A and B are shown apart, each in its own frame.
Chain A
Amino acid sequence: MALSNVLETPPSGFNFENVLRNVALEGLLEGAHNKAPKPMKTGTTIAGVVCKDGVVLGADTRATSGEVVADKMCAKIHYIAPNIYCCGAGTAADTEKTTDLLSSNLTIFSMDSGRNPRVVMAANILQDMLFRYRGQIGAHLILGGVDCTGSHLYTVGPYGDIDKVPYLAMGSGDLAALGILEDRFKTNMELEEAKELVRDAIHCGIMSDLGSGNNIDICVITKQGVDYIRPYQESEFKYKRQRRYKYNPGTTPILTEKIVPLKMEVVQETVQRMDTA
């Protein structure tokens, strides 16, 4: 399989051949001391709220791989279009690639049709793609944006179900965040109030869930534009390195030095004329 890639361009989109290979490998590794590596998950808290003038999205910034924090400043709010952003929970690679694919497709659509993309269209495209892969793509997404029809917030599940909601939280810290949202959400809130509500919801997720933590990112989308505040609030538990890890040049003494020139000879030369006629 690796060799054939050199000769022909692989088809675009997802390729599930490795799923079969992994299943076979799991069988071989059964009982052995090394198990298959776990995919990086964004054990996460993400939230979104529709307010009077737009949509506020929030997320924590911790990405975990098993019990280890793999990334302390992971960006979970992904760009889809100038007026549409998407928060992703689940498998980090899946959310990244799915939102990237969606963003590319929508840009092409914008250029072809001459129209700005609508949030409902982005949600429908996501639904079609995720349903086709029958839940194999572990992407739990909150899609929010402002278009000519107003401000909208959609949730898209990994099996391809969508729901249009005024507020939502997802990820492993969703129950904690949802408690805050259920208590204090009101329709047509002011922007500042909505930002505080989302911040509080994510903060609650960070405090109550082991998979969420570090900083809080906030993304405010209004008709006027997008304000992506990263980080909106930094964690107070930042670790300061005790020592420097940079060494001055000359720390390691050089004992001997040997220079060997690499002789290269021209094997084949082809000239191709370029015709611009």
Chain B
Amino acid sequence: MDRHYMDSQIKGVSTGTTILAVTFNGGVIIGSDSRASMGGSYVSSKTINKLIQVHDRIFCCISGSLADAQAVTKTAKFQISLHSIQMDSPPLVKAAASILKELCYNNKEELQAGFITAGWDKKKGPQVYTVALGGMLLNLPFAIGGSGSTYIYGYTDAKFKPDMSREECLQFATNALALAMGRDNVSGGVAHLVVITEGGVEHVVIPGDKLPKFNDE
């Protein structure tokens, strides 16, 4: 078992990954790949779930150490539920993101996990928040994260438009994931996408061979 840990800085299973979240007119799309790796050369799971539902209209995607991320989201899910019951109304996306941020910041020495929180609430509509490794919280129109995100900064900066339609946004997210999975060795598998709107939550799964292909493939 020890041979698996040697190269990676993350001990144990890592979701070396590509995650993103994009707002559009009326909702938000959150997406990820589905690969979990150990040490950069062993794929320990081809079908890992990185889109965790923390409340009815709030999802969170995870990157970094799988164990740390799962533990944090479990705690956050409980605290968000409790907050929602105490307030007697669905939580704001900002509240959910802040709860994650508090957990990451206060335990920054021990934890190695990053999150992108996205959802819809009645006050501000669709929102995307990114919680980085050390506990920084940022509100952005779209966010990308994980090891594969470095390959798509240019693409997303060039192609993102505010107030896209649902179909345009779905195409944008799919293309971005496909490009990142094509270049990053620790991202791959299927593309998971979730469309969150006021009306509900819709899962879209695109298997690896149905992803859009680009020039070199």
A interface list, Cβ under 8 A from B = 89-90, 124, 127-128, 130-131, 134-135, 138, 140, 157-163, 165, 171-172
Known contacts being A134-B110, A135-B11, A135-B12, is A161 close to B1, with CB within 8 Å? no
Chain B interface residue count, CB cutoff 8 Å, equals 16
Q: Select the residue from B12, B13, B45, B67 with max chain A CB neighbours within 10 A.
A: B67
With A135-B11, A157-B12, A157-B13 in contact, do A162 and B1 touch (Cβ < 8 Å)?
A: no
Residue of A nearest to B38 (CB): A157
A residues in contact with B110, CB < 8 Å: 134
Cβ contact within 8 Å between B45 and A160: no
Selected from A135, A138, A165, the residue in CB contact (under 8 A) with B45 is A165
**B47 to chain A: which residues have CB within 8 Å?**
165
Query: Quick one: which of B1-28 are within 8 Å of A by CB?
Result: 1, 11-13
The interface residues of chain A lying within 8 Å CB-to-CB of B13 are 157, 159, 161
Question: In the complex, what's the smallest C-beta–C-beta distance from B108 to chain A, in angstroms?
Answer: 15
Let me know if B11 and A161 touch, CB within 8 A: no
Residues of B within 8 A of A128 (CB): 71
Interface centre among A128, A130, A157, A159 (most CB of B within 10 A): A159
Q: Report if B48 contacts A (CB, 8 A).
A: yes
Q: Which of A140, A158, A160, A165 has the most CB of B within 10 A?
A: A160
Is the pair A140, B1 in contact by a Cβ cutoff of 8 Å?
yes
Q: Is B65 an interface residue (CB 8 A)?
A: yes
Q: Report how far A131 CA is from B111 CA in the complex, Å.
A: 11
With A89-B1, A90-B1, A157-B13 known as contacts, the answer to whether A163 contacts B48 (CB < 8 A) is yes
Chain A residues positioned under 8 Å from B81 (CB to CB) = none
- Give the complex CA separation of A106 and B13 in angstroms: 27
- The answer, yes or no, to whether B70 is at the interface (CB within 8 Å) is yes
A182 to chain B, nearest CB (A): 10
Report if B93 contacts A (CB, 8 A): no
Chain B interface helix/strand/loop/mixed: mixed
A172 CA / B2 CA spacing, docked (Å): 9
Q: Give the distance in Å from the alpha carbon of A165 to the alpha carbon of B110 in the complex.
A: 28
> Chain B residues near A131 (CB, 8 Å)?
67-68, 70-71
Q: Let me know if B54 is at the binding interface, CB within 8 A.
A: no
Q: Which of B43-65 contact A (CB under 8 A)?
A: 45, 47-48, 65
16 chain-A/chain-B pairs, Cβ below 8 angstroms: A89-B1, A127-B74, A128-B71, A131-B68, A131-B70, A135-B67, A138-B1, A157-B67, A159-B11, A159-B12, A159-B13, A159-B67, A159-B68, A161-B13, A161-B36, A161-B67
The answer, among A89, A160, A165, A172, for a CB contact under 8 Å with B67, is A160
Find out whether the CB atom of B1 lies under 8 angstroms from the CB atom of A159: no
Residue of A nearest to B14 (CB): A161
User: Is there a chain A Cβ closer than 8 Å to B176's Cβ?
Assistant: no
Q: How far is the CB of A177 from chain B (nearest CB, A)?
A: 14
Closest beta carbon of chain A to B190's beta carbon, Å: 15
| Shortest distance from the beta carbon of A41 to any chain B beta carbon, whole Å | 9
With A127-B70, A130-B67, A135-B67 known, 6 other A-B pairs at CB within 8 A are A131-B71, A157-B66, A158-B12, A159-B66, A160-B67, A163-B48
Residues of A within 8 A of B11 (CB): 135, 159
Q: In the complex where A159-B65, A163-B45, A163-B48 touch, is A172 in contact with B1 (Cβ < 8 A)?
A: yes
CB-defined contacts of A160 to chain B, threshold 8 Å: 67, 70-71
Contact B1 A127, beta carbon cutoff 8 Å: no
Give chain A residues whose Cβ lies under 8 Å from the Cβ of B66.
157, 159, 161
Q: Which residue of B lies closest to A90 (CB)?
A: B1
Digitize B101-122: 1 where CB-to-A-CB distance is under 8 Å, 0 elsewhere.
Answer: 0000000001000000000000
In the assembly, what is the distance between CA of A172 and CA of B13, in Å? 16
